Amino acid sequence: MKRLIWIPSSIMILAGLGYAVGKTSDLVVPRMDAGTDVAAFVAPRSDLPLDVSLVGNGKNVFSEIAVATVEPFDADGDGTPDADELLSPAGSRPVETSASAQLAELARAGSSRTLSLQVAATVGASGETSAARLPATATAWQSEHYRDNPLVGEVFDARGARSSHDFLLGAASGARYVLLGEIHDNPDHHRLQADIIGGLARLGAEPSVVFEMIPERFAGVLEDFAAAGGKDLASLSEQLQWTERGWPDFSIYQPVFEAVVADDLAMRAGDLDRETIMAIGEKGLDALSEADVARLSLRLPVSADQSADLADTIRTAHCGLMPEGAIGQMALVQRARDGALADAMVEAAEDSGSAVLIAGSGHVRKDWGVPNILAERDPDAATVAVQMVEVSDSESEAADYGLTSEAPAPYDYTIFTPRSDIADHCAELRARMGQTSE
């Protein structure tokens, strides 16, 4: 499937699950084979310029992307959450709206309709009704591929039962933690995230928004931005070194930031700094103080099934080309980054009452992702995890994507969208390495 491509050397240790392809891989990949020990990897040169002209076209030159966009999830039943837990997400409740009908109409109409929804929610003991108008975004799906798939725009629960935007927003409005999993370079995913954030605000919540894309070292930048009135997003992207760090063009993330600014919500840095990630990849837990090990929940027990599932996901996410010596290190890096995101969510919710996470879908899994850590750290809190999945050409049933009652998804809700890129990056990489597909 798409977005399952090689992450070389130091980028690999940094990235966790996901994808990063760039000119630097040419300097590294030919020197590796399946028997190479990770400690012998040759790091890409750091003085090579980042080619940002390709960002957003599925050929990204990602130098610091810590992504987890495995798609959609492992559906063989191993290591998945308890089925009863996933059947009824904590805090779920319907909100009486017309949004589901509009979303279904959007799905049928493909690119000719708007993504924006209008929600009227019944709130308060008096039963008085207040309107919640989600932010007005663009008027069509921006991703180009498979817009006519009947799943596009539809919402399903963990067991593959058809749900709605109404139920999703209702569940989210009753949760302390809302996790919105994305594929980073799909603009529709960010517009949907913006709509959900705006909808929560208009239903009375004031969540802090935690970003995987913003490492901890930029916390001061966010504080200064808020103190200055927080309106100049172009300046913020520059201060965050967004382009230099290799994320997809800031413009596709801008709807999320606009939704945050529009409702004067707090922003929080979520990820570990690059230097910390690299140190963990090299030295393991020895790179951290005991206080940081605890903060990142790295003493949290992980079942054998979950460990195996994470390892298999890492292998798949790197096209089957990852040397076995790297799997354990990448799994530890992934767990540490999940711990950092969970820690940021807990702190954010303490300040504002609730928190929303913007992150790759792999981070918001309820089995071995951030929600699993939140359940340990804040066991009485309601958590809702959402993944956004790009449809394929010939797969038009929820079960085709692993949403079944026999093996519930490790997410409370799934929203289907068009696909932004159909290139087979694994095939491209194998061809460059002189390998044939298995």
Q: For position 312, what pLDDT does the model report?
A: 93
Residue 41: inside a domain, yes or no?
A: no
Q: For position 209, what pLDDT does the model report?
A: 98
Instruction: Considering only residues 62 and 246, tell me which one the structure prediction assigns the higher pLDDT.
Output: 246
Q: Is the dihedral of CA 7, 367, 165, 357 positive or negative?
A: negative
Residue 188: inside a domain, yes or no?
A: yes
Residue 34: inside a domain, yes or no?
A: no
Q: For the chain, what is the mean pLDDT?
A: 75
Q: For position 14, what pLDDT does the model report?
A: 39
Q: For position 436, what pLDDT does the model report?
A: 60
Instruction: Considering only residues 416 and 39, tell me which one the structure prediction assigns the higher pLDDT.
Output: 416
CATH of the domain at 156: 3.40.50.11550
Distances in whole angstroms, Cα of residue 207 to Cα of each of 101, 244, 251: 27, 28, 23
Residue 13: inside a domain, yes or no?
A: no
Distances in whole angstroms, Cα of residue 185 to Cα of each of 142, 352, 360: 11, 29, 10
Helix (H) or strand (E) holding 316: helix 304-317
297-320 mean pLDDT: 91
Residue 144: pLDDT over 90: yes
Question: Structural domain tally of the chain?
Answer: 1
Q: Give φ, ψ of 88 to 5 degrees.
A: -125, 90
Residue 28: inside a domain, yes or no?
A: no
Domain that holds residue 168: 74-420
Instruction: Identify the DSSP state of 82.
Output: P
Residue 433's nearest CA partner among 272, 320, 327 is: 320
Over the stretch 403-429, which tens digit does the pLDDT of each residue have? 999 999 999 999 999 999 999 989 888
357-384 mean pLDDT: 97
Instruction: Identify the DSSP state of 42.
Output: P
Spatial distance between the Cα atoms of 112 and 109, rounded to a whole number of angstroms: 6
Residue 408 contacts residue 158 (beta carbons within 8 Å): yes
Spatial distance between the Cα atoms of 233 and 390, rounded to a whole number of angstroms: 28
Over the stretch 157-214, which tens digit does the pLDDT of each residue have? 999 999 999 899 999 999 999 999 999 999 999 999 999 999 999 999 999 999 999 9
Residue 83: inside a domain, yes or no?
A: yes
Instruction: Considering only residues 323 and 433, tell me which one the structure prediction assigns the higher pLDDT.
Output: 323
DSSP secondary structure letters along 252-268:
HHHHHHHHHHHTT--EE
Residue 425's nearest CA partner among 6, 134, 119, 97 is: 6
Collapsed DSSP state (helix, strand, coil) of residue 25: helix
Q: For position 437, what pLDDT does the model report?
A: 52
Residue 267: pLDDT over 50: yes
pTM, full prediction: 0.74
Instruction: Identify the DSSP state of 39.
Output: G
Residue 435: inside a domain, yes or no?
A: no
Over the stretch 282-306, which tens digit does the pLDDT of each residue have? 999 999 999 999 999 999 999 999 9
Residue 165: inside a domain, yes or no?
A: yes
